[in-house]
Amino acid sequence: MKHIFLNLKRFDITPELGGVNRLAEPGQWGQAVASSIKDVADAYADVAEFAAFLPEAHLIGAANAAAGSHLGIGSEGVHGADTAPGGNFGAFTTLRTANSVTQLGCGWTLVGHCEERMNLRAIMGESGATADQIEPAVNRILNREVKAAQAAGLKVLFCMGERSEEVDAWEQVLTAQVSEGLEGCDLENVRIAYEPVWSIGPGKTPADAPYIAKVARLVKSVVTGVDVVYGGGLKADNAKMLAGIEEIDGGLIALTRFSGEIGFYPEEYAQIVDLYLNA
């Protein structure tokens, strides 16, 4: 079984405000996303698992539109603590708890996306923590988030990957991220997305197939039985290459068009899925 994930970050913002949403009016954006791609998930349901991760304001519309289909809907993160009967009933102002996400209709969440890790590092850096203190602390925080998500019944796409300054120590860094981040978790309901942070973005050389394969082998040796998808961007121009990597079990799509009118286009999403699954 392959896994096709979609993370639309803040792509609900229109170009007038610096975003890339050309799909629908903001109020209908979540519904438009799910409505436009659920047929793809249904068409390939026998060979692949599908989930889309959206900003919180759009989860209800997306979940309603995806109801009855094989498209899972997920949040882009959860807090590491939650409400509980007889316990904390809701002192989580500004925070997104797993129970709240579940009751919005989600079955999935992201944990540990490179942008979340970046934010956690920045916060800890402001406190004066040193680099050797920050990384283990980030892994512990993310571990609590995975456990909170699973306690609420959510499946987790756990993201991990090394930065430019960590490439020489890639094995040590990635081993710590997955072993500490997923310690004590229910691995049956976890998928892992590998984000080679050092190779993502304009002007950077993308990780090649041998590199991606060796990372996937390492991850699968550390947390056995967990599928690994490529989180650095499943695109039309790398779909066939990624499909040829035996160790990789799917991919994470974000933008579908990277030039001209940059953004997410459902017809191009379908083309990417076709290219990958039919390679």
Q: Which of 3, 70, 113, 162 is catalytic?
A: 113
Report domain extents, the chain: 2-277
Query: What are the average pLDDT values for consecutive 10-residue runs of the chain, which has 279 residues?
Result: 94 93 94 98 98 96 98 98 91 94 98 97 94 95 98 98 96 98 98 96 89 98 98 96 98 93 96 97
Q: What is the pLDDT of residue 131?
A: 84
The DSSP-derived string for 60-96 is HHHHHHHTTSSEEEEES---S----TTS--S--TT--
The verdict on whether 113 is a catalytic residue reads yes
Q: What is the pLDDT of residue 148?
A: 98
End-to-end CA distance of the chain: 15
Q: What is the pLDDT of residue 263?
A: 94
pTM exceeds 0.95 for this model: yes
Q: Tell me: the pLDDT tens digits for 50-84?
A: 999 999 999 999 999 999 999 999 999 999 999 99
Hunting for tokens 């430019």 — which residue is that? 164
Q: Tell me: the pLDDT tens digits for 43-57?
A: 999 999 999 999 999
The verdict on whether 3 is a catalytic residue reads no
8 Å CB contact between 192 and 178:
yes
Q: What is the pLDDT of residue 191?
A: 98
Q: Taking Cα atoms as reference points, which of 101, 90, 86, 218 lies closest to residue 154?
A: 101
Asked if the 2-277 domain carries CATH number 3.30.420.40, the reply is: no
Q: Taking Cα atoms as reference points, which of 195, 182, 186 lies closest to residue 222?
A: 182
Per the rule left: phi > 0, alpha: psi between -120 and 50, beta: everything else, 225 is left
